Amino acid sequence: MTLRRVRESETLRSSPVETLNPLMDRRKFLKSAGVGLGVGAAGSLVPNPIFREASAAAVEAPKLAQYKTICTKCAVGCGLIGEVKDGVWVSQEPWFEHPINQGSLCAKGAAARSAVISDKRLRYPMKLSGGKWQRISWDQGMSEISAKLLELRKKYGPDALHINFSAHFSNEHGYGIRKWAGMWGTNNVDFQARI
């Protein structure tokens, strides 16, 4: 899908748009909105501290620094604009001029921040024990997994293992995992998008 930057003046000049309400076409809607605006304008002449406070708050947008960057979730290399506040990446905007994706992103790129901030993100080792997931220490996790792997390699050889990683990983993650597979002694390594 190609995204297109639409300016406000363009939307007002555009041809009639169908609405979901058969009794309300665009012209009627604008006309009734004009009545509403007229009442609103008259109301604004009356001093009202509540209205003044609300409009002052509405125009105060947070100051966000924008950085052009590249999505690392696959080799396509789509561009996006990360918005940063106080050193934290808080939102993102389309990078329309980027030659690869022209502003659009797939689901992984659109959710790039969630890989870090999602509540569902796995943050520590978990072990299924007696049908229930339990948190264990990193030391326990590493010891149990490496002991099991060595046992399997001794019994069935290094090609008994297939190492499958996620296309959500960065290129650097993929490089590290491929190196680890070579150290283990197998070429059985791939990522999920090719399966």
Contact positions toward ligand SF4, by CB under 6 A? Answer: 71, 73-74, 76-78, 101, 105-106, 108-109
Closest approach of Cβ 112 to ligand SF4, in Å? 7
Closest approach of Cβ 55 to ligand SF4, in Å? 38
Distance from C-alpha of 183 to C-alpha of 127, rounded to nearest angstrom: 26
Residue 83 is encoded by which pair of tokens?
């918005």
Q: What pairing do the DSSP bridges indicate for beta strands 163-165 and 189-191?
A: parallel
Residue nearest to ligand SF4 as judged by C-beta position: 109
Please give the C-alpha separations between residue 140 and each of 98, 125, 128, 150, 163, in angstroms, as whole numbers: 46, 9, 13, 16, 21
Closest approach of Cβ 129 to ligand SF4, in Å? 35
Residue 116 is encoded by which pair of tokens?
């870090």
Q: Which is nearer to ligand SF4, 78 or 189 (CB)?
A: 78
Q: Which is nearer to ligand SF4, 82 or 101 (CB)?
A: 101
Q: Which is nearer to ligand SF4, 94 or 177 (CB)?
A: 94
Q: Which is nearer to ligand SF4, 98 or 153 (CB)?
A: 98
Per-residue burial over 24-38, b if 16 or more Cβ lie within 10 Å, else e, is: eeeeeeeeeeeeeee
Closest approach of Cβ 98 to ligand SF4, in Å? 10
